[in-house]
Amino acid sequence: MQKANDLKEYREELRETLGNDFLRTTLDNFAIAYRAGRANAFKGMDVRGLIKEIADSKDEAARNADALYREFKENAEAAGIHVHFAKDGDEANRIIAKIAKDADCKKIVKSKSMTAEETLLNHDLEDAGLEVTETDLGEWIIQLRHEGPSHMVMPAIHLSRFQVGDLFTEVTGKQQDSEIEKLVKVARRELRQKYVEADMGITGANFAIAETGSIGLVTNEGNARLVSTLPRVHVALMGIDKLLPNLHDALRILKVLPRNATGQAITSYVTWITGNNECLAAEDGKKEIHYVVLDNGRSELIKDPLFSQVNRCVRCGACANVCPVYRLVGGHKMGHIYIGAIGLILTYFFHGKDKAKNLVQNCINCEACKDVCAGGIDLPRLIKEIHARIQDEDGHPLPSFLLGKVLKNRKLFHTLLRTAKWGQKPVAEKDGFIRHLPMIFSKEHGFRALPTIAETPFRDWWKEKRPRVATPKYRVALFSGCVQDFVYPEQMQAAVDVFAANDVAMEFPEEQSCCGLPVQMMGETKASRDVAVQNLRAFEPEAYDYIVTLCASCAAHLKHNYPKLVMDKPALKLRADAFAAKIIDYSSFVNDVLKVDAKDFTQTSEKATYHAPCHLCRGLDVHDAPRQLIEKSGMEYVECAEEEVCCGFGGTFSMKFPELSAELLKKKLDNVEATGADTLLTDCPGCIMQLRGGLKRRGSRVQVKHVAEVMSKNKK
Partner 1 sequence: MPSKEDLYQKFVEKAELVSAKVTSIANEDDALKYVINLCDKKEACQLMISGCEADLSDKAEALCDAKQKKVIAAPGLNEDLYKKLAAQSKKAGFECISEGMRDHLAGVDIGFTYAEYGIADTGTLMLDCPSEEMRLATMVSEFHVCVLPKSKIKANTYAVEKMMLTRMKKTPDYLAFITGPSRTADIERVLALGVHGPLELHILIMED
Smallest gap from Cβ 401 to partner 1, in A, equals 44
Rounded to 5 degrees, φ, ψ at 56 are -65, -45
End-to-end Cα separation, the chain, in angstroms: 59
435 touches which of ligand SF4, partner 1, none (CB within 5 to 8 A by kind)? Answer: none
Q: Total number of residues binding partner 1 (CB under 8 A)?
A: 80
Smallest gap from Cβ 362 to ligand SF4, in A, equals 7
243 contributes a contact to partner 1 by CB under 8 A:
no
377 contributes a contact to ligand SF4 by CB under 6 A:
yes
Nearest C-alpha neighbor of 140 from the set 98, 183, 179, 103: 183
Stretch that binds ligand SF4, among 142-150, 246-254, 361-369, 585-593 (CB under 6 A): 361-369
**Residue number, 329 or 547, with CB nearest to ligand SF4:** 329
User: Can you list the pairs that 407-410 forms with residues at least 24 positions away whose Cβ atoms lie under 8 Å?
Assistant: 407/513, 407/514, 407/516, 407/518, 407/519, 407/527, 407/531, 408/527, 408/530, 408/531, 408/534, 410/511, 410/513, 410/514, 410/534
Contact residue for partner 1 among 36, 39, 67, 180 (CB under 8 A): 180
484 Cβ partners below 8 Å, 6+ apart? 458, 491, 492, 550, 551, 685
Query: Measured between alpha carbons, how far is 363 from 384 in angstroms, rounded to an integer?
Result: 8
Query: Measured between alpha carbons, how far is 201 from 180 in angstroms, rounded to an integer?
Result: 27
39 contributes a contact to partner 1 by CB under 8 A:
no
374 contributes a contact to ligand SF4 by CB under 6 A:
yes
207 contributes a contact to partner 1 by CB under 8 A:
no
**CA pseudo-torsion sign 166, 168, 171, 172:** negative
Kindly identify the residues of this chain, within the stretch 624-663, that bind ligand SF4 according to CB under 6 A: none
Count other C-beta atoms under 10 Å from residue 435's C-beta.
13
Contact residue for partner 1 among 36, 184, 416, 574 (CB under 8 A): 184
Nearest C-alpha neighbor of 172 from the set 160, 153, 185, 159: 185
DSSP 8-state symbol, 236: E
176 contributes a contact to partner 1 by CB under 8 A:
yes
385 contributes a contact to partner 1 by CB under 8 A:
no
The contact pattern for ligand SF4, residues 283-322, with x = CB under 6 A and - = no contact, is ------------------------------xxxxxxx--x
Query: Measured between alpha carbons, how far is 151 from 158 in angstroms, rounded to an integer?
Result: 9
Kindly identify the residues of this chain, within the stretch 272-291, that bind partner 1 according to CB under 8 A: 272-281, 286
**CA pseudo-torsion sign 254, 255, 258, 261:** negative
Contact residue for ligand SF4 among 136, 367, 490, 644 (CB under 6 A): 367
**Residue number, 315 or 333, with CB nearest to ligand SF4:** 315
**Residue number, 213 or 380, with CB nearest to partner 1:** 213
Contact residue for partner 1 among 144, 247, 469, 638 (CB under 8 A): 247
**Residue number, 218 or 289, with CB nearest to ligand SF4:** 218
Inter-axis angle of helices 247-262 and 47-63, nearest 10 = 130
User: Beta partners for 703?
Assistant: 679
317 touches which of ligand SF4, partner 1, none (CB within 5 to 8 A by kind)? Answer: ligand SF4
Smallest gap from Cβ 690 to ligand SF4, in A, equals 15
Contact residue for partner 1 among 35, 225, 618, 656 (CB under 8 A): 225
Stretch that binds ligand SF4, among 24-32, 82-90, 359-367, 492-500 (CB under 6 A): 359-367
Contact residue for partner 1 among 117, 134, 221, 663 (CB under 8 A): 221
Nearest C-alpha neighbor of 262 from the set 100, 93, 33: 33
Kindly identify the residues of this chain, within the stretch 77-96, that bind partner 1 according to CB under 8 A: 78-80
DSSP 8-state symbol, 468: P
Query: Measured between alpha carbons, how far is 135 from 140 in angstroms, rounded to an integer?
Result: 6
Query: Measured between alpha carbons, how far is 415 from 420 in angstroms, rounded to an integer?
Result: 9
* CB-based contact 51:225 (threshold 8 Å): no
128 touches which of partner 1, ligand SF4, none (CB within 5 to 8 A by kind)? Answer: none
502 contributes a contact to ligand SF4 by CB under 6 A:
no
260: enclosing H helix or E strand: helix 247-262
368 contributes a contact to ligand SF4 by CB under 6 A:
yes
* CB-based contact 233:105 (threshold 8 Å): yes
**Residue number, 619 or 694, with CB nearest to ligand SF4:** 619
Query: Measured between alpha carbons, how far is 374 from 218 in angstroms, rounded to an integer?
Result: 16
Kindly identify the residues of this chain, within the stretch 316-345, that bind ligand SF4 according to CB under 6 A: 316-319, 322-325, 341-342
Smallest gap from Cβ 270 to partner 1, in A, equals 4
603 contributes a contact to partner 1 by CB under 8 A:
no
Contact residue for ligand SF4 among 57, 365, 491, 549 (CB under 6 A): 365
43 contributes a contact to partner 1 by CB under 8 A:
no
Cα distances (Å, whole numbers) of residue 669 to 433, 609, 636, 645: 19, 11, 19, 11
425 contributes a contact to partner 1 by CB under 8 A:
no
**Residue number, 133 or 321, with CB nearest to ligand SF4:** 321
20 contributes a contact to partner 1 by CB under 8 A:
no
Stretch that binds partner 1, among 62-70, 244-252, 515-523, 685-693 (CB under 8 A): 244-252
550 contributes a contact to partner 1 by CB under 8 A:
no
Query: Measured between alpha carbons, how far is 427 from 238 in angstroms, rounded to an integer?
Result: 60
Query: Measured between alpha carbons, how far is 181 from 207 in angstroms, rounded to an integer?
Result: 32
- Which strands sit side by side in the sheet containing 636-637, from one edge to the other? 636-637, 607-610, 679-682, 703-706
29 contributes a contact to partner 1 by CB under 8 A:
yes
223 contributes a contact to partner 1 by CB under 8 A:
yes
**Residue number, 181 or 283, with CB nearest to partner 1:** 181
Smallest gap from Cβ 27 to partner 1, in A, equals 10
The 3-class SS string of 395-453 reads CCCHHHHHHHHHHHCHHHHHHHHHHHHHHCHHHECCCCEECCCCCCCCHHHHHCCCECC
714 contributes a contact to partner 1 by CB under 8 A:
no
154 contributes a contact to partner 1 by CB under 8 A:
yes
155 contributes a contact to partner 1 by CB under 8 A:
yes
**CA pseudo-torsion sign 107, 112, 116, 121:** positive
**Residue number, 374 or 708, with CB nearest to ligand SF4:** 374
Contact residues: ligand SF4, CB under 6 A: 313-319, 322-325, 341-342, 363-369, 372-375, 377, 379-380
